[in-house]
């Protein structure tokens, strides 16, 4: 992976150490989404990347560590992550994503940042 790097989401929750945290959007059960609690939709405040003028000439990649969980197993810890509204910390079990059996690494990009 390249540098610089930011943790946007940690264990399914907005990174509580990020001064510009991601904003999660509700996911409704329609179309391809049958289990909305297992899907995350979010936006990233892009001005964070633009604060450093050097980033305006770079490509941005989003790297995700995801867990494919079994919705038929109600005790599957990977499917039951809950974030607190107060401080975006995770409740319950705190394992690294890579500790789950369904762990995968996914990359999206490049996202090209253009100056206005």
pTM of the model: 0.63
CB 108 within 8 A of CB 62: yes
- Model confidence pLDDT, tens digit, residues 20-65: 888 999 999 888 888 787 788 888 876 666 666 666 566 778 888 7
Report the distance separating Cα 45 and Cα 23, nearest Å. Answer: 8
Give the tokens for residue 13: 């929750």
Residue 89 and residue 83 in contact, taking contact as beta carbons nearer than 8 Å? yes
Contact at 8 Å (CB) between 19 and 7? no
Distance CA 23, CA 42 (A): 5
pLDDT in tens, 60-89: 788 887 777 776 776 666 666 677 654 444
65 touches 12 (CB < 8 A): no
């Amino acid at each position: 992976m390249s540098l610089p790097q930011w943790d946007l989401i940690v264990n399914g929750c907005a990174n509580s150490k990020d001064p510009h945290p991601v904003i999660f959007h509700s996911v409704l059960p329609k179309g391809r989404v049958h289990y909305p609690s297992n899907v995350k939709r979010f936006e990233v405040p892009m001005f964070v990347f633009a604060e450093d003028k050097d980033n305006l000439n770079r490509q941005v990649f989003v790297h995700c560590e995801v867990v494919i969980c079994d919705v038929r197993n109600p005790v599957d810890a990977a499917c039951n992550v809950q974030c607190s509204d107060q401080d975006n910390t995770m409740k319950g079990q705190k394992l690294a994503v890579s500790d789950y059996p369904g762990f995968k690494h996914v990359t999206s990009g490049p996202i090209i940042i253009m100056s206005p």
